[in-house]
Structure 1
Amino acid sequence: MKLKVNILCAIIISMIMSSCNQNPKSNKDMQKGKQMTAKEILGNPNYLAISYGGYREKSRDSQPTIKELKDDMKLLSVMGIKILRTYNVQLPHASNILKAITELKKEDSNFEMYVMLGAWIDCLNAWTDQPVDHNVESPNNAAEIERAVALANKYPDIVKVLAVGNEAMVKWAESYYVQPNVILKWVTHLQELKTQDKLPKDLWITSSDDFASWGGGEDQYHVEDLEKLIKAVDYISMHTYPYHNSHYNPEFWGVPEAEDSLADIDKIHAAIERAIQFSKRQYDSVTNYMKSIGVNKPIHIGETGWATVSKGFYGPNGSRATDEYKQGLYYKLMREWTNTAGISCFYFEAFNEQWKDAHHPNGSENHFGLFTIDGKAKYPIWDLVDDGVFDGLTRNGNPITKTYSGNKKALMKDVLVPPALDEIMANR
């Protein structure tokens, strides 16, 4: 009898120990199934963000297939990218991205990708031959918001942010900008849907716009409706582009007299360091304005980037800002700053897209990607190719290889030193 009791005790103890050993796995599985929120992923360096367009052709009439989108998602995922930003829901692109992510999650339970879903906002007669009216919104906006709401409700596990408009308030967007009251109207509408349980309560609402539109620039932007908008959004998504300002506001970019004696490579590094400081000042200007109206909420970077080809304002006959080496420096330093500071940076952009300036193949807008259209990794991510991160993955059927065939000496032949500051000032 005593032997039987001992055996029974041993069995019970074994079952208890087995149960205890299973607990970590169960907890891990529970964590895996946990629904992450915008609050948890934004500003989290383990959830890198990027702006994404999957278009391969010169027109958006040619939509990327689900397979092409899945190939892109896999490439971005192995880079540590877990949040994508899209721009509109007028075309099938954004909804197809959500379908592609859904399929990848079904194929691999560990696959994780979230979306900041953009709804495009226009003024009356935007993109037509009729005179635009910036004080009246396009009648198309209501349907765009309705489509965005439907997608957010259909894919609540993926869509974590809704952004009302892209650079829709900044005055230089002359083709389509609206007044802040239009953005405020739709942000308020979406926030009300959350209170009515018609949108997920943890879905964050914002608008993604130039730093100036968020009060960091000229006084003309400091209007009552902007104050109300800042109070209405869940966070501010601001854009900063020292690359463009190397032409429009170039004082920070020019090589000062004190650096004349530096080697060319050091002049380039110093200029990119100043570019990062330029973005930090723009970030601080938005922070200061926000706090001046009694608000304190997160500010993340909805867009910033550096092009690698330009025959225009930023190329050899302009600010000389454009090449892959400078893109690599800017990308590295921007990620270091934002990751350390707890700021999400939706770096612009993942892949080159040739539809943006279809009539000018060497236009800078076509060349902001970290990858070329055919899947070559540009200099900022050469190290990932070396590390084998992309092994077995393709874009357009091509394995991921380096631009310039990985020859840094060949790359550096296209790298120009920024102009001297006194040269810039003399030409203004």
Structure 2
Amino acid sequence: MNITAEDILGNPEYRAISYGGYREVSRETQPTVAELKEDMKILHAMGIRILRTYNVQLPHASNVVKAIKELKEADPDFEMYVMLGAWIDCKNAWTDQEPDHEVESEQNAGEIERAANLAREYPDIIKILAVGNEAMVKWAASYYVQPWVILKWVNHLQEMKKKGELPEDLWITCSDDFASWGGGDPEYHTEDLNALIKAVDYVSMHTYPYHNTHYNPEFWGVPEEEEGLSDLEKIDNAMERALAFAQGQFQAVSDYVSSLGVDKPIHIGETGWASVSDGHYGPKGSRATDEYKQGRYHELMREWTEAEGISCFYFEAFSEKWKDPHNKKGSENHFGLLTVDGKAKYPLWDLVDQGIFKGLGRNNKPITKTYKGNKDSLMLEVQVPPTRREQTIPH
């Protein structure tokens, strides 16, 4: 039986995650196929069945697919699928020249060709192809493009499907911020976006209440009527509001798509919560960052999305050091549910207790709990969100 994107997206039996296997401070050190297979076994044990990758400029994604293929050959019961990302940029992105957001990068055509070739080569593994990652949102100032660029490549890939040059059941999307999909500022409501919504097979949207604890923190601070609660109640209530914030962004995208007369699946391409931050989200900022809150957010998101038939490519599987190489405590380095050296953070402690990681590990180390499994030690670092009076709401 050929399993398709339609079968797995929104199906709680096919849990999804965003994955980068990088273990060093630079992507120049590519993870080996053997290391990727180590990670695949860990994720499979966690119940993950769909991985999201981000580009085919580097060998990482093709090696991930190769690792899955080899694991399937060794064990017919091993099941894993891929949402393959093709990276899209504007002209002069990541150079010392001014980015030109009205013109696309000369690299995009080659990236789309590589992605299409890989999807054609591994139709039993690659079920989704995503054109761009946060490539339309205006705050991606170093590389964002106009929606017509994404639309052009989505149409190109859809045409390839019609001609039989790609599997007809390969789903094509773009993975972008909720605002880029019409769920925020009306400046994004363009004819090109509307055409894109009609062209994709489903909408893949991102939502990050974590970042909004700093940038849009009205939902986060402890309201006056909750000031008499225990610290844990204040924290848990704040996490419930964080979930509601994400649900509101999802609903806003859904409303915009519906307003166009379009009935199309919407799934979450990214959402997550960092466990370490020395910046905006740490002790001197929004106090949003620790493993307890990460665990609650992961639990709340999984419960909601699985009950509603929404796939959630939770960000992310393992923490990666290259994201913010000059600042070890930068939050971007700490979104993983597992640390770089393979320790299970608080969201996964119960899985360690269940023994699902027995015989598995990363870098030849078994999977153990952070904080040596001592919740009291963990909770010493957990801070209560600021009261509304303490908050300085940025404008």
**Class of the TM-score when normalised by the shorter of the 2 chains:** over 0.9
Query: Structure 1 regions of 5+ residues with no counterpart?
Result: 1-33
Query: Structure 2 regions of 5+ residues with no counterpart?
Result: none
Query: Partner of 2:173: helix, strand, or coil?
Result: strand
Query: Partner of 2:137: helix, strand, or coil?
Result: coil
Question: Which one has the bigger helix percentage?
Answer: 1
Are 1:48 and 2:22 matched, yes or no? no
Are 1:284 and 2:251 matched, yes or no? yes
Query: Partner of 1:84: helix, strand, or coil?
Result: strand
2:104 aligns to what? 137
After TM superposition, give the deviation of residue 424 of structure 1 in Å: 1.3
* C-alpha spacing 1:426/1:396, structure 2 compared with 1 (3 Å): closer
Name the CA distance, whole Å, in 1 between partners of 2:393 and 2:43.
44
Are 1:243 and 2:203 matched, yes or no? no
Instruction: Show structure 1 runs of 4+ deviating over 6 A.
Output: none
**1:404-419 matches, cutoff 5 A:** 404-419=371-386
* C-alpha spacing 1:394/1:426, structure 2 compared with 1 (3 Å): closer
Are 1:258 and 2:197 matched, yes or no? no
Are 1:124 and 2:91 matched, yes or no? yes
**1:325-336 matches, cutoff 5 A:** 325-336=292-303
After TM superposition, give the deviation of residue 208 of structure 1 in Å: 0.1
Are 1:233 and 2:200 matched, yes or no? yes
Query: Partner of 2:390: helix, strand, or coil?
Result: helix
**1:25-424 matches, cutoff 5 A:** 34-424=1-391
Q: Supply the AA of the counterpart residue of 2:338.
A: F
Any conservation in 1 of the 2:37–2:67 contact (CA below 8 Å)? yes
After TM superposition, give the deviation of residue 423 of structure 1 in Å: 1.8
Name the CA distance, whole Å, in 2 between partners of 1:139 and 1:149.
17
Give the count of matched residue pairs. 395
Query: Partner of 2:115: helix, strand, or coil?
Result: helix
Query: Partner of 1:160: helix, strand, or coil?
Result: strand
TM, length-normalised to structure 1: 0.92
After TM superposition, give the deviation of residue 422 of structure 1 in Å: 2.2
Q: Deviations over 1:241-276 (max 9, x none)?
A: 000000000000010001010000000000000000
* C-alpha spacing 1:425/1:57, structure 2 compared with 1 (3 Å): closer
Any conservation in 1 of the 2:215–2:394 contact (CA below 8 Å)? no
Q: Supply the AA of the counterpart residue of 2:254.
A: T
After TM superposition, give the deviation of residue 426 of structure 1 in Å: 6.5
Query: Partner of 2:132: helix, strand, or coil?
Result: strand
Question: Which one has a bigger Cα radius of gyration?
Answer: 1
TM, length-normalised to structure 2: 0.99
Any conservation in 1 of the 2:217–2:393 contact (CA below 8 Å)? no
Any conservation in 1 of the 2:218–2:393 contact (CA below 8 Å)? no
The alignment's C-alpha RMSD in Å is 0.7
Name the CA distance, whole Å, in 2 between partners of 1:151 and 1:278.
37
Query: Partner of 1:338: helix, strand, or coil?
Result: helix
Name the CA distance, whole Å, in 1 between partners of 2:354 and 2:190.
50
